Amino acid sequence: MKISSKDFDLDEVEISWCPGCGNYNALKVMKEALTDLGIKPHEFVLVSGIGQAGKFPHFIKAQSFNGLHGRYLSAALGIKASNPELTVIAVSGDGCTLSEGGNHFLHTIRYNPDIINVIHNNQVYGLTKGQASPTSQLGFKTKVQVFGVINEPFNALAVAISLNASFVARAFVGDLDKTKEILKQTINHKGYALIDLLCPCVTFNRVNTYQWYKEKSFYLDEAHDPFDQMKAMKLALDTDKLALGILYKNPKRKPYHENVQIYNDDKRALYQRDLDKAKFNQLLESFK
């Protein structure tokens, strides 16, 4: 049966984001990308942390898991590893992913689970009312950082490329059509697929606005070779001109679940297997 983006709507839910928040476009684009790819609500799981972006699964019909702040990626890895049939999409903010969850971010890239990681990057802590996040730019003033941010911003794309992540992309929610195409490629990738989604916070970040991102960004064209790690790194390190599109792909990495012993001889998801009671009892005995 053909699906439409309305199949992902939750009728009785009131969306609590501010009018104009970039998260609305992120939600719209996600529903449309899933529709185009024919992924039905029961075939994917949305996993999130805490924050405005972390509310994402509350506003879309899907199976979902709302984890702890900064801890959503390990839940996503576990879900995919126990049921590789599911499409697992992990969504959270720049703060949740790169500050509270910085350690999990690094090691998830190393594990290379077959998940999609969407960072709604608004360069601020939105939910807690506008403190600087790890991606806030130098000099960004807030009620806490009254003299402006003094720490160098965390460059998620450069870090991911340096760790040889299997897929690294950037998109801007101000451009729905192109973002949808980039997101579809991200979802289709096999292995850890990161998309840094520039997603303005219209209430607490009056510097990095829709207009600011529009002026600062440009699209990669066909001349860009996404398999060239050094060129991708150069693009990621350029924070004056923000490259949009697929920056880097590493075809050499196998997804995590294909490397673990439990799937060597039996490709079935864990839920499809019978419990081996003898082995289970043996395990329990071993703890006595």
70: contact with Mg ion by CB under 5 A: no
Closest separation in Å from C-beta 268 to ligand TPP = 36
C-beta separation of 58 from 85 below 8 A: no
126: contact with ligand TPP by CB under 6 A: yes
Among 87, 122, 155, 186, binds ligand SF4 (CB under 6 A): 122
50: contact with ligand TPP by CB under 6 A: yes
In terms of Cα–Cα distance, which of 164, 225, 220 is closest to 192? 164
Among 93, 113, 130, 191, binds ligand TPP (CB under 6 A): 93
Sign for the pseudo-dihedral over CA of 124, 128, 131, 134: negative
- Give the separation between CA 171 and CA 183, rounded to whole angstroms: 8
How many residues line the site for ligand TPP (CB under 6 A)?
19
Which does residue 171 bind out of Mg ion, ligand SF4, ligand TPP, none, counting CB within 5 to 8 angstroms by kind? Answer: none
Sign for the pseudo-dihedral over CA of 166, 94, 177, 34: positive
18: contact with ligand SF4 by CB under 6 A: yes
Closest separation in Å from C-beta 140 to ligand SF4 = 14
Residue number with the smallest Cβ distance to Mg ion: 93
Q: What is the dihedral of CA 5, 6, 12, 14, to 10 degrees?
A: 40
Stretch that binds Mg ion, among 88-96, 107-115, 192-200, 280-288 (CB under 5 A): 88-96
φ and ψ at 99, to 5 degrees?
-105, -80
Stretch that binds ligand SF4, among 37-45, 180-188, 199-207, 266-274 (CB under 6 A): 199-207
In terms of Cα–Cα distance, which of 115, 114, 119 is closest to 51? 119
- Give the separation between CA 248 and CA 230, rounded to whole angstroms: 9
Applying CB under 6 A, the residues found at the interface with ligand TPP are: 50-53, 69, 92-96, 100, 120, 122, 124-128, 133
